[in-house]
Structure 1
Amino acid sequence: MTALLRARMRRDRVQVPLWIAGTALLAAAGYAGVVQSYGTVTERQEILAAVMANPVILMFRGLPSGTSEGAFLAFEVLPGLAMLAALMSSFLAVRHTRGDEEAGRAELVSATPAGRTLPAVATLVHGLVANVALTALTALALIATGLDVPGSLFTGAASGATGVAFLGLGLIAAQLMRTSRGANALTVWALVTLFLVRGIGNAAGTPSDDLTRIDSSWIAWLSPFGWAEQTRPYDADDVWPVALGVAVGLALAVAAIALQSVRDLGAALVPARRGRARARATLSSPQALVWRLGSGALVGWVLGGALTGILATTLSAVAVRIAGENPAVSEVLERIARAGSLDEAVITVFFTMLGILAACAAVQTLAHARQEEAHGTAEPVLATPVGRVRWLAGYLSVATGAVVVVVGAAVVAGCLALTAAGGESDLYRVVVITGLGQVVAASVFVVVTALVFVLLPRATIGVAWALVVVGAMLGLFGPLFGLPEWAGELSPFAGAPTVSGGDVDLRGLWWLLGAVAVGGAAALALMRRRELAPGG
């Protein structure tokens, strides 16, 4: 047991500390943003009143629990902290269970006295240790800002309990799906669904008379993210939602270990789909193979992009109405988007989120290259006349195509929604230009991921996803956290072209295009001489 636990911690000595440190930094940055942007009770009360007037905002924010600095901080950042913990834990669970089975390591370990179930137990302990560390460091980061100790501890504990719940979910997904790719996809879709369920539960809740607090509906209790928010740090400090998250995570983990003991090694509870006896003619190129392997996941990203485009254009009218009643809302949106009119600001904010979605689709596509290399399935392809450069170029082209398709779906859906609502003709131009800008921004993450894959192949997945998270936090939340303007512009999402007062701001376009061109050429050139790096 001790040896297995040490081996897991050694393999995760970079990835897990990055997730934990990023979560703690987000908490500390969130406090700085609250103090700088909403320093008075009146300002915080105005924002919460605006939130009550538009339940859609609650889909993307936390649960209002008062106007104190701590309670408002939890409203702002607790969903993000819980999501980081959930992603870290679910990826960890799949990597050390189904991932090890795919790589052949689980078979070797099972042949030792460790047997079939002890590796899963070691993974559970490893995940629990990681979440305890995340809880402690996040709480310490908040305590260091001067916030009260109990509320800080409950904020960290709520995040860590969500991580434990998704640790159990990841272990279950590893038993259900035959590949780590399928298990990770299942956990990510479960995460997105449960996050939306939490938002629906909050939006359907009952506001208090002073518009500073919401009592969620029963729907929020169907989600681990809802449990985290029901803790209400810096207000009620309720321990039972934390205990519920931990208990559910442990119950799922026990069920996963039981399933591990009765199924065949390498098999899964969900049977694999039977393949064709002969490949179609359309699979005659490396690009076609990459597209075929990733097309199922891409459908989900495209649907998310289309939904984002619809929300971007349909909510602009709602935001204008609310901002007329509460100028604080207008200030917040314009601070994030750095746009002119409020319509432009709303579209820019949602299309920044779209750029993040497109970058995620691209990173997931390029992560497949590392998985194929680690699992040994890249070797049969490279044994043909397909060379290393052409093989990587196939992934680059498909990842870029994924970005274009996701953003294109949003642009088309947004324009159709504008037409249905009879929107202003100028907004069509804003949608198209902002969408094209996010294509370039997301493409930066395509080439950066490719460079990491070439130079640090074993760190590809962890580093690539960490860079997307950092870029998202700087680009979307940097202004709210009080970061200087230059820090926000380090994110490609914030540097993408936007429309402000009818004028197009192209300042960031040139360095983004230069980064894409130089990064792509460098990745392909370096790939020519790189050796394959199989294994974990």
Structure 2
Amino acid sequence: MTSLKGTGKLIRLILRRDRWLLLVVVLWLAAAPVGLADTYQSQTAAERAEYARTSGSNPTFLALYGPLHSETAGGIVAQRVGAIPLFIGLISLLFVIRHTRTEEQAGRRELLSGTVCGRHAGLTAVLSVAFLGNLLLGLLVASGLSQNLPGSGALAVGLGFAAAGWMFAALGGVAAQLTENAGGARGIAIGSLGAFLLIRLAADTGGPGNDLSWLHWLSPLGWVTELRPFADEQWWVLLLAVALTLLATTLAFAVSSRRDIGAGLLPARLGPAEASPALGGPLALAWRLHRGLLMGWLIAFTVLGGVFGGIAEGVGDMMKDNKDLQNVFSRIGGQEGLIDSYIASMMSLMGLVAAAYSIQAALRMRAEEENSRAEYLLATGVSRLRWIGGHLTFALLGPVVALAVGGLVAGLVHGANMGDVGGELPGILGAAMVQLPAVWVLSALTLALFGLLPRVTAAAWGGLALCFTLGQFGRALDFDQSVLDVSPFTHIPQVPGGDFTAEPFVWLLAVAAVLAFAGLATSRRRDMGAA
């Protein structure tokens, strides 16, 4: 039997299991660029030039989307979709780990290997689906954009999306070989993606030609922007993406052929033979299960806070030689208003990141249930509410700690740069903490899905994706305010610099309470493992 025997059947199995998920993700990621193209193509040249002089060089935009290489409609679209490769990379690496290490951890890989499936059939199948899916996404984006924009630039955007998916799918394949559990593999892969993002942030925030722009070449996310769609495309950059994809894929197969099924390249750390008295309750057990995840996210928030706080001081320098910016931001308080606007935008982004942690923490309940570990625990004297409460503690209070750490670090760094820690820290810390009600709505949504529709609990990620899409592209796509209001983050007041009212917080907390109650009530009554 060859090592690839059964690959075709596994490909069909993957498509059968995830056909709707793949369809929704591809269409969602392809729709935003096409909608933006319609919006900016309808603008006049003067309006696009105004965008380039103001928003296009705004540090917030540079941090989120990357540099603006052209003042044409295509160039603006290419910048505004600059955050999408990050999500493509995240989805691709999680998809690969789900169908490799997760299957192996659950024991299904060993069962298949004992039949007609070769050793490398599983890895080959999932990488094939990931590569073809990302290529399809790239072609759809290129086809959609070419209806209104030059074909070469449209193709560059599409291939940039596909290349991001290829690279991180291959890196996800490597991460899946390193540890014995899927959580560890996801931590390594997401940590790598976060490091590449921070490198791109450092390279882009100072604007084109800054002293750190060379850092683009150290990050695959930076390579995507260096394709320069609609601005004398640099096609050779795709060779870097192909080389990294081939290298990571080869490494994944090499490691896979040298390890035992169920084992990882990194040795597992064995625990003590007897449990500590500290594990005597469900909350203590939840701490044991969540502490690694929480520590990893706290490190990420510390770094994000340092980056955002360090950048804030230079935001006001943009206005020195730009009269257009001076006129625009004089209406919101001059340089101070510009810095406040930047801080509010970055803290809103940090709120979305905190929501991602909260959803991941809440989803641990479903993972414990699917792997039958919850059933063994609940067969003792532990009630379902106590078990859920242990995990929910980290889903609700974890974001509090994470946002506090991020806001505190950002405030200290920016305050030190401005020489006024006492004056700057409270405002930035408050801007981070006001995101909590919106974060809790998504936490409660995850709990509600866990209770009502446990099989689709992971659809909570779709809620986060919707919030990001509405926040980053909603106004550019001229969505009605009623559509924008679907996102809880739309209702968070702009702090600092905006008017603070308690009413939206009361409504958001009420929505979160209703969703949480629905989740708790139904979780108590349904069968374990029920759909």
Instruction: Tell me the equivalent position of 1:493.
Output: 489
> What is residue 186 of structure 2 aligned with on the other side?
184
User: What's the counterpart of residue 396 of structure 2?
Assistant: 400
Q: What residue is the counterpart of 1:154 in the other structure? A: 156
In the TM superposition, what is the alpha-carbon distance from 1:186 to its structure 2 partner? 1.0
Aligned residue among 3, 6, 11 for 1:5? 11
2:98 to 95, 99, 103: 95
Is residue 445 of structure 1 aligned with residue 442 of structure 2? yes
Deviations 1:198-219 (A, max 9, x none): 3444568963xxxxxx898553
The verdict on how the C-alpha distance between 1:109 and 1:49 changes in structure 2, with shifts beyond 3 A counting, is closer
Aligned-partner Cα distance in 1 for 2:172–2:380: 36
What is the CA–CA distance in structure 2 between the aligned matches of 1:327 and 1:388, rounded to whole Å?
Answer: 62
TM-score by length of 2: 0.89
Q: Which amino acid aligns with 1:125?
A: S
Match of 2:241 among 241, 245, 262: 245
- What's the offset of the Cα at 1:429? 5.0
The answer to whether residue 164 in structure 2 is matched with residue 167 in structure 1 is no
**Aligned partner of residue 19 in structure 2, secondary structure:** coil
2:186, 2:98 → 1: CA distance? 9
1 CA distance for matches of 2:328 and 2:150?
Answer: 27
How many pairs align? 522
C-alpha distance in 2, partners of 1:197/1:534? Answer: 43
The Cα shift of 1:473 comes to: 2.6
Structure-2 change in CA distance of 1:430 and 1:506 (3 Å): farther
Q: Does 1:503 align with 2:507?
A: no
Amino acid aligned to 1:98: R
1:23 aligns to what?
29
2:53 corresponds to 1:46 = yes
Question: Are 2:312 and 2:414, in contact at CA under 8 Å, matched by a contact in 1?
Answer: no
1:211 corresponding residue in structure 2: none
Q: Indicate the larger mover: 168-177 or 384-393.
A: 384-393
- On the 8 A contact 1:19/1:466 being kept in 2, the answer is no
One-letter code of the match for 2:447?
A: A
Measured after TM superposition, the shift of residue 309 of structure 1 is 4.1
CA contact (8 A) 2:350 2:403 kept: yes
Q: Which amino acid aligns with 1:126?
A: V
Superposed CA offset, 1:75-113 (max 9, x none): 2213x2211221121111101110111111101110112
* Deviation string, structure 1 residues 27-68 (Cα, Å, up to 9, x no partner): 1343355457886342144138845xx6x8644332332211
2-side partners of 1:496 and 1:342: how far apart?
Answer: 18
> For structure 2, which runs of at least 5 residues remain unmatched after alignment?
1-6
CA gap 1:14/1:188 in 2 versus in 1, 3 angstroms: same
2:241 corresponds to 1:235: no
Report the CA distance between 1:273 and its aligned residue: 1.3
Is the 8 Å Cα contact of residues 493 and 499 (structure 2) preserved in structure 1? no
Q: 1:330 to 1:5 in 2, by over 3 A?
A: farther
Whether the 8 Å contact between 1:330 and 1:342 is mirrored in structure 2 is: no
Equivalent residue runs for 1:107-256 within 5 Å? 107-144=110-147, 146-202=148-204, 207=209, 218-256=214-252
- Which residue of structure 2 aligns with residue 85 of structure 1? 88
Contact 2:200 2:219 in 1 (8 A): yes
> What is the deviation of 1:353?
1.2
Contact residue 309 and residue 414 of structure 2 kept, 8 A: yes
Match in the other structure for 1:524: 520
The match for 2:80 among 69, 72, 76 is: 76
Select between 310-319 and 391-400 the one with higher mean Cα deviation.
310-319
Partner residue of 2:4?
A: none
Q: 1:529 to 1:428 in 2, by over 3 A?
A: same
1:65 partnered with 2:62: no
Check the 8 A contact 1:356/1:442 in 2, yes or no. Answer: yes
State the Cα distance separating 1:139 from its structure 2 match. Answer: 1.9
1:303 and 2:307 are equivalent in the alignment: no
Residue by residue over 1:146-201, the C-alpha shift from the partner in whole angstroms, topping out at 9 and shown as x without a partner, is 11222112211111111011111011110111111111111111111112223444
Q: 1:235 to 1:347 in 2, by over 3 A?
A: closer
Answer whether contact 2:408 2:425 (CA < 8 A) is retained: no
- Mapped partners of 1:351, 1:331: distance in 2: 25
SS of 1:13 mapped into structure 2? helix
Distance in 2, matches of 1:169 and 1:262, equals: 18
Mapped to 2, the partners of 1:431 and 1:68 lie a distance apart of 35
Report percent identity of matched pairs: 31
Whether contact under 8 Å (1:89, 1:170) holds in the other structure is yes
Unpaired stretches in structure 1, ≥5 consecutive residues: 208-213
**Contact kept in structure 1, 2:145 and 2:154, CA below 8 Å:** yes
Partner of 1:430: 427
Q: Choose 415-424 or 108-117, whichever is displaced more.
A: 415-424
Contact 1:335-1:480 at 8 Å conserved across structures: no
Alignment partner, residue 382 of structure 1: 378
- Does residue 259 (structure 1) correspond to residue 266 (structure 2)? The answer is no
**Deviations, residues 248-272 of structure 1 (Å, cap 9, x unaligned):** 2233223312322231110000111
Q: What does 1:324-335 correspond to in 2, within 5 Å?
A: 325-326=321-322
Q: CA deviation at 1:533?
A: 2.2
Residue 327 (structure 1) shift: 6.3
Equivalent position of 2:3 in the other structure: none
When residues 136 and 502 of structure 1 are mapped into structure 2, their CA distance, relative to the original with a 3 A threshold, is closer
Distance in 2 (alpha carbons) for counterparts of 1:330 and 1:526: 55
Q: Closer, same or farther in 2 for the Cα pair 1:496/1:140, shift >3 Å? A: same
Q: 1:316, 1:343 within 8 Å by CA — same for their partners in 2?
A: yes
User: Equivalents in 2 of 1:442, 1:377: separation in Å?
Assistant: 28
How far off is 1:7 after superposition? 0.6
Q: State the match for 1:210 in structure 2.
A: none
SS of equivalent residue, structure 2 residue 500 = strand
Q: Show CA shifts across 1:261-299 (max 9, x none).
A: 231110000111121223233222212222222212222
Contact 1:227 1:241 survives alignment (8 Å):
yes
Q: Decide whether aligned partners of structure 1 residues 38 and 525 sit closer, same or farther in structure 2, where only a CA change above 3 A counts.
A: farther
